[in-house]
Amino acid sequence: MSDKTLNTNFRVSLLRCQSAKQIRQKLYAALVSFSDIFPTSKDAHILIKPNLNSNMNALTGNTTDLRLLDALLSYLRDQGYGAITIGEGTSSGFHREKINIFTRLCIDKLARRFNAKLLDLNYAPYEYVEFEHGEKAAVARICKEADFFINLPKLKTHFEALLSVCLKNMMGALVGLPNKQKTHRSLFKNILNLNKFVKPHLHIIDGLIAMEGTGPSSGTPIKTDVVLIGTDPYLLDLACAKIAGFDYKEIPYLRLAEERGIINQDYLNFVEAFIPKEVIRIFKRPHVNSLVRFVNHPNWQYSFIKIRLSPLVNKLFSFKSFGRLLNAAGLRQDVFDKQDLCLKDIYFEASLCDNCKKCQAYCPVGLVLPEQLHPLHEQCIGCLYCFLVCPKKAIKIKGTLGFFKEQLKRYDNITRSIA
């Protein structure tokens, strides 16, 4: 599999990787070619903003893959950068329920390996961005003030925007629930407003296991094995639309960007020449029922949000059974199970193993698997990628599954079959 870089005014690289080792090696080489834009001072404050909008394991296609985050942190450490923050303002429901996404996705354990700080952008000091209808929304100030800002989005479908990659990932920079909700009065214009205000220096897209279908809540993972790196989020989102087999004109914020002259013919020509046919996959499109479409219609959505936040309705939403009902109707991203996963052991049954080494290809921290599951290695962060990809179900876990039970029910067979 060959990687690609075209020499034009656009700076972008496309990496094709299938294992943690390849991701680490190829990302390292690619970032060396971008080294001129990194800060010269090793004391520079670097902010990394992954997509951690829910507690869904990255292999479901929903959140940023820890293999990519680990590879990026390794590169930064090797270059001598020591002041690194991983920041995310996770989406409304998880924020409201005070669910710690950093813990659930094992970001905390990974960050500890690199001495990186974690910051919940929902509670960060802020500045205001101008939104449509004269509104102002609070954006985490660190996104403006960090010496170097790296956007680390996931490639996935989105039921309202069709695609969510670099530009949409900036929604997580908005502080807290009320500010996130302000986008919805004019979602696509506000996505552009936000990206005019907050401009990461570099974007690294996780298209390893992407999401197709009705993302982000009911999508399914699709193995795309790509990582895109570049400095222009519009170009990168166009490239991702091409990879997903979507006409960019169907993606409202890209169409709007073209109308505003941000995207021009040079962008379109470049993407046409740059994306090789072999990486193009025709993603399943989001399909939403009429109730979801009605509730999320720009004309009513803002009013529904107001009703949703009234004390009585808020109380109703706190009942688990009601949450399940909403989730089944497609109106809620998750059931927001409050019980964390409590892992006591991960082990493997040698008699079931055919030594395919998939578990090793997915281990973000580079353990020699499955051998180092006996006994469980101290470097293991408990991400369960090895467990989720083992085609023989040779890797077993002990402990309380908590919120993870629901994910297993929905995705267990899918992750094993696509990995």
Q: Looking at 88, 367, 407, 415, which residue binds ligand SF4 (CB under 6 A)?
A: 367
131 binds ligand SF4 (CB under 6 A): no
- C-beta of 390: minimal distance to ligand SF4 in Å? 3
381 binds ligand SF4 (CB under 6 A): yes
Angle between helix axes 233-244 and 252-259 (nearest 10 degrees) is: 130
User: Closer CB to ligand SF4, residue 273 or residue 368?
Assistant: 368
107 binds ligand SF4 (CB under 6 A): no
CA 22 vs. chain centroid, Å, equals 20
299 binds ligand SF4 (CB under 6 A): no
105 binds ligand SF4 (CB under 6 A): no
| 140, β-bridge pairs | 126
User: Closer CB to ligand SF4, residue 252 or residue 382?
Assistant: 382
210, 232, 37, 121: CA torsion to nearest 10: -60
Q: Which stretch binds ligand SF4 (CB under 6 A): 6-14, 161-169, 325-333, 391-399?
A: 391-399
385 binds ligand SF4 (CB under 6 A): yes
390 binds ligand SF4 (CB under 6 A): yes
User: Closer CB to ligand SF4, residue 229 or residue 383?
Assistant: 383
- C-beta of 175: minimal distance to ligand SF4 in Å? 31
Q: Which stretch binds ligand SF4 (CB under 6 A): 116-124, 157-165, 323-331, 349-357?
A: 349-357
Q: Looking at 262, 268, 353, 418, which residue binds ligand SF4 (CB under 6 A)?
A: 353
Q: Which stretch binds ligand SF4 (CB under 6 A): 54-62, 188-196, 321-329, 364-372?
A: 364-372
User: Closer CB to ligand SF4, residue 306 or residue 357?
Assistant: 357
Q: Looking at 14, 155, 251, 365, which residue binds ligand SF4 (CB under 6 A)?
A: 365
How many residues touch ligand SF4 under the rule CB under 6 A: the total is 27
- C-beta of 97: minimal distance to ligand SF4 in Å? 25
Q: SS3 for the chain, per residue?
A: CCCEECCCCCCEEEEECCCHHHHHHHHHHHHHHCHHHCCCCCCCEEEEEECCCCCCCHHHCCCCCHHHHHHHHHHHHHCCCCEEEEEECCCHHHHHCCCCHHHHCCHHHHHHHCCCEEEEHHHCCEEEEECHHHCEEEEECHHHHCCEEEEECEEEEECCCEEECHHHHHHHHECHHHHHHHHHHHHHHHHHHHHHHCCCCEEEEEEEEEEEEECCCEEEEEEEEEEEEECCHHHHHHHHHHHHCCCHHHCHHHHHHHHCCCCCHHHHHHHHHHCCHHHCCCCCCCCCCHHHHHHCCHHHHHHHHHHHCCHHHHHHHCCHHHHHHHHHCCCCCCCCCCCCCEEEEEEECHHHCCCCCHHHHHCCCCCCCCHHHCCCCCCCCCCCHHHHHCCCCCEEEEEECCCHHHHHHHHHHHHHHHC
38 binds ligand SF4 (CB under 6 A): no
67 binds ligand SF4 (CB under 6 A): no
- C-beta of 378: minimal distance to ligand SF4 in Å? 10
Q: Looking at 142, 263, 384, 403, which residue binds ligand SF4 (CB under 6 A)?
A: 384
408 binds ligand SF4 (CB under 6 A): no
- C-beta of 111: minimal distance to ligand SF4 in Å? 14
C-alpha 284/C-alpha 210 separation (Å) is: 11
108 Cβ partners below 8 Å, 6+ apart? 102, 118
| Residue 259, amino acid | E
14 binds ligand SF4 (CB under 6 A): no
101 binds ligand SF4 (CB under 6 A): no
388 binds ligand SF4 (CB under 6 A): no
21 binds ligand SF4 (CB under 6 A): no
User: Closer CB to ligand SF4, residue 162 or residue 346?
Assistant: 346
- Which residues of the shown chain bind ligand SF4 in the complex (CB under 6 A)? 346, 348, 353-359, 362-365, 367, 369-370, 380-386, 390, 392, 394-395
